[in-house]
Amino acid sequence: MSGTSFPARQAQAALARAVCALSAVASLSACAATAPAPNADGEVIPADEAASIAFVTSALKASVQKKAAEEGRAFRDAHRKAHGCVQARFTVLPQLPTAVAQGLFARPAAYDAVIRYSNGSQNVDDTKGDARGMAVKIMGVPGPKLLEDEAQASTQDFLLMNSNVFFVKNAKEYVSFQKAIDGGALSLAGWLTWRAFNEGATLLRIQGQKVSNPLNVRYFSPTPNKLGTQQMKVSATPCAGAVFKDTATGPDLLRQNLQATLDERAACFDFSVQLRTQPSKMPIEDATAEWKESDSPFVKVARIDIPAQQAEQGEACEVRSFTPWHSIAEHRPLGGIQRVRKAVYQEISTLRHQLNGQPRVEP
């Protein structure tokens, strides 16, 4: 082949992008021409993303190791406090619309599942504002998985929180947030002020939600996944008419109200998917952008039944690992924040289990 080599063309393209970004007179069309085209799922991977992911991963590993040395035990860098792990049944509904009947939802079936409810941050006091998480592990899902070291695992995980958007846009902005966290209260306050009209406001809104029972919350995946040939976000909504205990108070009120409910009755959630029907309004690479339900309503595809039971606590719950990359290819996680999670979740999970002397085995 004649002409410029591939590495040289890459270097030229990178230089063109840099010039375009710095030039005050460059036309929008000229700049757009230098940007990489999105793939079929709407992903555009920045050239410097790998470095951003490496920085965040290294910083979080250092934080986990530091706290483990101080406390004598390693904990998750996020979603540290579990309110309980519960056994459940995940049932895919029959006669779904063709557009959503893909991947796990291609045919009606019932699967055993485990759900971990948690606080979002390192916070262990349930009376304080925080994100609340619902991590769903569906077991017995056939097909090779995306993580190479767990390629034959039989699980499909969906990680949800009580917000339909994330508070950080992409990997590069996660670096800024992590530096603010590492810099202490003043640095974090500065980050919140700088991001006041978007990421900071989202974080404060999430922390401002009042939650009295993890079973009585609507949860979302703020970041997207594939749905076969489509793209989606998912949501879990408490079934209509459900009754929940909410009388406990104090720092463990969420665990206590969860268990008080399951001592007396079963609980359930409707599991729904939202298709990316309008790409211009539903970006893949901006985790802070809302996919409005007015543009694409959620479609119910499954039901989660949680029987009355004693929720797992302590070691039995903490040994479990959850990541959106425990996934079949038809539901591959999409976007920069999901790519950050791929590295971070795997590295932190491995480190945490090693420091605690725990086996790391997918059921």
- Return the CATH number at 181: 2.40.180.10
Q: Please tell me whether residues 208 and 309 are part of one structural domain.
A: yes
Kind plus residue range of the DSSP H or E element containing 21: helix 6-22
Q: Please tell me whether residues 122 and 7 are part of one structural domain.
A: no
Q: Please tell me whether residues 60 and 12 are part of one structural domain.
A: no
Q: Please tell me whether residues 253 and 179 are part of one structural domain.
A: yes
- Asked whether residue 106 is assigned to any structural domain, the reply reads yes
- Amino acid identity of residue 197, one-letter, is F
What's the pLDDT score for residue 142?
87
Kind plus residue range of the DSSP H or E element containing 353: helix 336-356
Q: Please tell me whether residues 1 and 116 are part of one structural domain.
A: no
- Asked whether residue 363 is assigned to any structural domain, the reply reads no
Q: What are phi and psi of 34, to 5 degrees?
A: -85, -15
Sign of the CA dihedral with 22 first, then 23, 28, and 30 last: negative
**pLDDT lower than 50: segments of the chain:** 1-16, 18-30, 32-33
Which residue segment(s) compose the domain that 24 sits in?
A: 1-35
3-state secondary structure of 60: helix
Q: Please tell me whether residues 112 and 3 are part of one structural domain.
A: no
Q: Please tell me whether residues 26 and 129 are part of one structural domain.
A: no
Q: Please tell me whether residues 27 and 151 are part of one structural domain.
A: no
Kind plus residue range of the DSSP H or E element containing 89: strand 82-92
What's the pLDDT score for residue 5?
38
Q: How many structural domains comprise the chain?
A: 2
The C-alpha atoms of residue 137 and residue 150 are separated, in whole angstroms, by: 14
Q: What are phi and psi of 146, to 5 degrees?
A: -75, -30
Sequence-ordered list of residues with C-beta below 8 angstroms from that of 183, at least 6 positions apart, any chain: none
- Asked whether residue 156 is assigned to any structural domain, the reply reads yes
What's the pLDDT score for residue 245?
95
* Closest by CA position to 156, among listed 356, 323, 18, 33: 323
Q: Please tell me whether residues 197 and 98 are part of one structural domain.
A: yes
- Asked whether residue 189 is assigned to any structural domain, the reply reads yes
- Asked whether residue 362 is assigned to any structural domain, the reply reads no
- Asked whether residue 361 is assigned to any structural domain, the reply reads no
- Amino acid identity of residue 310, one-letter, is Q
The C-alpha atoms of residue 232 and residue 277 are separated, in whole angstroms, by: 9
Residue whose structure tokens are 């939202």: 274
Q: Please tell me whether residues 167 and 29 are part of one structural domain.
A: no
Q: Please tell me whether residues 148 and 13 are part of one structural domain.
A: no
- Asked whether residue 294 is assigned to any structural domain, the reply reads yes
- Asked whether residue 112 is assigned to any structural domain, the reply reads yes
Q: Please tell me whether residues 28 and 159 are part of one structural domain.
A: no
